[in-house]
Amino acid sequence: MLVGWSLGGIFARELAKPRPELVRLVVTLGSPFSGDPRANNAWRIYELLNDHPVDRPLIASDLAEKPPVPTVAVWSPRDGIVAPVAARRQRHESDRQVQLNERHLSLARAPGGIQLVGNILREELG
């Protein structure tokens, strides 16, 4: 099982693609895997910290392609950094989309977020 917050969710999805036999579930928290990467408020910071544009990653990949394992996309209409549509967009890009009303920096640390992830793990993994 892989749980990733923001860019960590992108890494979790990408890690599960080539080795699905090692991953039972991917949960993303406010991860911008769908749509235009410049539709988010963090793309300028990303480009300042990296040596490439946000829409031309160093490793070629289709971020919106769903890994061949169960996926849950946690998104927030109050995120403020990642556009809600980028974290949940098309139904075929994740198996389940769950709304959590937290700001981006609280998705992984707020009591509601921690409880939600625990509930997802219990539901999905039995």
pLDDT digits (tens, 9 = 90+) for 56-96: 877 778 888 999 999 999 999 999 999 999 999 888 999 99
DSSP 43-77: HHHHHHHSSS-TTS-SS---TTSPPSS-EEEEE-T
Domains identified in the chain, total number: 1
CATH number of the CATH domain containing 30? 3.40.50.1820
pTM for the whole structure? 0.90
* Parent domain of 27: 2-125
- H helices of 58-110, where? 84-88
